[in-house]
Amino acid sequence: AAVRKYSAPVMIRLSCLWGGLIVVLCVTRCATEPVFIPVEDSAERCEGGDKADLPDGFGCVRFDPGESTATVGRDEGEAVEFFLGIQYATAERFEPATERVYGEDDAGTTINGEENQGDACVSGCKLTIDTPDICEAPNGVESEECLFLSIWRPQDESLRTTQIIIILHGGGFLAGTGMADFVYAEEVARRTGALVASVNYRLGVLGWLSSFTTEPNERPELPGNYGLTDAWAVLRWLERYATFFVGEVCDKGSRLCDFSELSLNLWGFSAGAKLAACVLTSPVTPLATNLPLGQIEQVILSSGSWGLPDRAGPLLTVQTEAILKTLECIGLFESLKVDANGAFVVREETIECLKNADVEKIRLGNAAGLAAIVVGDFSYLAEPYSPVGVAPFLPDTDCVQDLKEGKFYGQEAGSFPADDRPRFLITGGKNEGTLFIRAALDLLPNLPGSSLISALLSAKSYVIALLLLFGPEDAKCLLREYPANGKEGSEPANGPGSAPDTVSSVSSAYGDYYFSCSARALCKALAGSADGGVVCYGSFYESGWGFSTP
Contact 239, 58 (CB under 8 A): no
Query: How many CB atoms are closer than 10 A to CB 353?
Result: 17
Closest to 134 (Cα-Cα) out of 78, 75, 177, 71: 177
Considering the candidates 270, 303, 504, 516, report the single residue annotated as catalytic. 270
Beta bridge partners of 269: 302
- The span from the CA of 128 to the CA of 148, in Å, is 23
State the amino acid at position 436 in one-letter form: F
* 151 Cβ contact partners less than 8 Å away, ≥ 6 residues apart: 82, 83, 86, 195, 196, 197, 245
451-458 own/partner pairs: CB under 8 Å, 24+ apart? 457/502, 457/503, 457/506, 458/502
Helix (H) or strand (E) holding 522: helix 517-527
Active site residue 543: no
Contacts of 376 (CB under 8 A, 6+ apart): 314, 315, 318, 319
Which residues have CB under 8 Å from 197's CB, separation 6+? 149, 150, 151, 164, 165, 166, 167, 234, 238, 242
Rounded Cα–Cα distance for residues 517 and 306 (Å): 9
Helix/strand/coil for 338: strand
Residue 247's alpha-carbon distances to 44, 113, 134, 155, 250, in angstroms, are 15, 23, 31, 11, 9
To the nearest 10°, report the CA torsion of 512, 514, 517, 520: -130
- Rounded CA-CA distance 255/55 in Å is 18
**Measured between alpha carbons, how far is 36 from 245 in angstroms, rounded to an integer?**
11
Closest C-alpha to 236, from 281, 188, 286: 286
Q: Do residues 320 and 336 make contact, with C-beta atoms less than 8 angstroms apart?
A: yes
Using alpha carbons, list the distances in angstroms from residue 36 to 59, 64, 246, 509: 6, 12, 15, 51
Q: By the 8 A CB rule, do 399 and 518 touch? A: no
DSSP 8-state assignment for residue 22: -
Q: Which residues are catalytic?
A: 270
